[in-house]
Amino acid sequence: MEAAQSYSLQDLAAACGGEVVGDARTLIRGVGTLEQAVPGEITFLTNTLYRDLLSETRASAVILGAVDRHATLLPRIISDNPYACYARVAQRLFPFPRAVPGIHPSAVVDPTARISASASIGPQVVIGGGAIIGEGVVIGPGCVLGENVLLEDRVWLYPKVVIYAGCRIGPRCILHSGVVLGADGFGMARDQSGWVKIPQVGRVLIGADVEIGANTTVDRGAIEDTIIEEGVKLDNQIQIAHNCRIGAHTVIAGCTGISGSTRIGRNCRIGGGVGMVGHLDICDGVTVSGFSLITKSIAQPGVYTSSIPSQPHRTWMETLANLRALPQWVKKLRALEQDIQKLKEE
């Protein structure tokens, strides 16, 4: 994509706090990869595997770390964190779109809802009684907000987001299409007649600056609230069950499932496809590798992994056969240890 206007390299460096080396007047109107960038675009290098592409790139400028300061003669921005610098440069080139304030004629808004004059309410939106919509909020087409929902200032809902009654969304949050907040948690009690539904009477509370990806679901609490703290970033197609709490600035990748009443600390990084059983406590600063299964609480920061990398089918079948035989080998090993111990005692 091409930005609406061009910026000098000096302007872009100011946006990310980087240092310009080379012609600071170089004009930039877009971004690209090292391989695909064209003149007028800026690119970046964060992975040393792609360093050789620096000599081939057609970009007009590049963002580099200090270690690569002299790796090219192109105009460049030097940053302690090239990827974050690129993110801020891209934000400058492609700012968040501005919406036109007002309520579309096809929207259905309960008369008791309070909507800021600066908010933008799209076609076919439904807003329930007692809802409060803050300054600069954008609600895309087809969104549904239940009774007493609160959207604080500058929340952006993409089309067809559903927020159930009583949920609260902090300022500057972004919810992508298909997000559902506040659906009933999976609460059932068993008796002689079958499964008895347990009413889910908690809410979902979302802190400031949270972003939630497409088709992600966050269930309301059974009694207490489900809480997503400030700065959390959730990818697409994540399930967060009732009564969970996700600590501030934690990031979770797609297709992860978190069972009920799990508490995840601050600044954690959860890979894609991770599964967590319920009622766990995960401390601050934990990284979980993709496709891991977490069945016990984690009390020490660090990296945790439980997945088995792929291997050729025949090799996997041999590994599986050995795994099945493992209990027998453990018994034999223990018996051998006992025999050795007896020999020592003699």
Q: What is the pLDDT along the chain (346 residues), one digit of tens a residue?
A: 677 789 999 999 999 999 999 999 999 999 999 999 999 999 999 988 899 999 999 999 999 999 999 999 999 999 999 999 999 999 999 998 888 999 999 999 999 999 999 999 999 999 999 999 999 999 999 999 999 999 999 999 999 999 999 999 999 999 999 999 999 999 999 999 999 999 999 999 999 999 999 999 999 999 999 999 999 999 999 999 999 999 999 999 999 999 999 999 999 999 999 999 999 999 999 999 999 999 999 999 999 999 888 899 999 999 999 999 999 999 999 999 998 988 888 7
Nearest alpha-carbon partner for 175 in 138, 130, 146: 138
Catalytic, out of 176, 242, 279, 313: 242
Angstrom distance (rounded) from CA 289 to CA 286: 10
State the burial class of residue 105 (Cβ atoms within 10 Å of its Cβ: 0-12, 13-18, 19+). exposed
Specify the pLDDT at position 1. Answer: 67
Specify the pLDDT at position 131. Answer: 98
In degrees, rounded to 5, the angle at the alpha carbon of residue 267 between the alpha carbons of residues 261 and 269 is 80
Specify the pLDDT at position 310. Answer: 87
Q: How many CB atoms lie within 10 A of CB 35?
A: 12
Specify the pLDDT at position 100. Answer: 93
Angstrom distance (rounded) from CA 250 to CA 295: 19
Specify the pLDDT at position 343. Answer: 86
Nearest alpha-carbon partner for 28 in 45, 13, 46: 13
- Cβ atoms of 182 and 203 within 8 Å: the answer is yes
**In this structure, which amino acid lies at residue 18?**
G
Active site residue 249: no
